[in-house]
Structure 1
Amino acid sequence: MHIKGFLIDLDGVLTKDENFSPLEGAVEFIDFLKKEKVPFVIATSNSRYPPEEIVKKLQKNGFNVDVDNIVTPLTVAPDVLQREKIKSLFVIGSDNLKRYMEGRDFKVTDSPVVDGVLVGLDKNFNFMKMKIGTTALKVYGAKLYALNKNIISKDDDGLLFPGVGTVAKMFSTACRCNEDFKHFGKMGEEYNKVVFEKLSVEKDSTAMISDDIFVDLEGYKSLGLKTIFVTTGKYSLKDLEKSKSVDIVVNNLMEIAGRVFVDK
Structure 2
Amino acid sequence: MNIKAFVIDLDGVLTQDERFSPIDGAVEFIDCLNKNSVPYVIATSNSRFSPEEIGKALKENGFNIDTDRIITPLVIAPEVLKNDRIKTLFVIGSDNLKEYLGSKGFIIKESPEVDAVLVGLDKNLNFQKLKIGTTALKVYKARLYALNKNIISKDDDGLLFPGVGTVAKMFSTACQCQENFKHFGKMGEEYNNVLLQKLKIEDISSVGMISDDIFVDLKGYKSIGMKTVFVTTGKYTKEDAKDADFIDITVDKLTELIGRVIPDC
The answer (yes or no) to whether the contact 1:88–1:107 under 8 Å persists in 2 is yes
C-alpha deviations, 1:186-222, integer Å up to 9, x for none? 0000000000000111211100000000110000000
State the match for 1:192 in structure 2: 192
The answer (yes or no) to whether the contact 1:7–1:40 under 8 Å persists in 2 is yes
State the match for 2:80 in structure 1: 80
Root mean square deviation of aligned Cα: 0.7
SS at match of 1:6: strand
The answer (yes or no) to whether the contact 1:230–1:251 under 8 Å persists in 2 is yes
State the match for 1:147 in structure 2: 147
Letter in 2 for 1:65: I
The answer (yes or no) to whether the contact 1:77–1:184 under 8 Å persists in 2 is yes
State the match for 2:46 in structure 1: 46
> Given the alignment of the two structures, is residue 16 of structure 1 paired with residue 24 of structure 2, yes or no?
no
State the match for 1:34 in structure 2: 34
Using the alignment, how far apart are the partners of 1:107 and 1:253 within structure 2? 42
TM-score (norm 2): 0.98
State the match for 1:207 in structure 2: 208
Using the alignment, how far apart are the partners of 1:171 and 1:7 within structure 2? 30
State the match for 1:122 in structure 2: 122
Using the alignment, how far apart are the partners of 2:141 and 2:195 within structure 1? 32
Letter in 2 for 1:41: V
Shift of 1:261: 4.6
Letter in 2 for 1:167: V
The gaps in structure 1 that reach 5 residues or longer are none
SS at match of 1:145: strand
TM-score (norm 1): 0.98
Using the alignment, how far apart are the partners of 2:246 and 2:165 within structure 1? 20
Identity of counterpart residues, as a percentage? 68
Shift of 1:242: 3.7
Letter in 2 for 1:256: L
SS at match of 1:208: strand
C-alpha deviations, 1:157-177, integer Å up to 9, x for none? 000000000000000000000
SS at match of 1:42: strand
SS at match of 1:241: coil
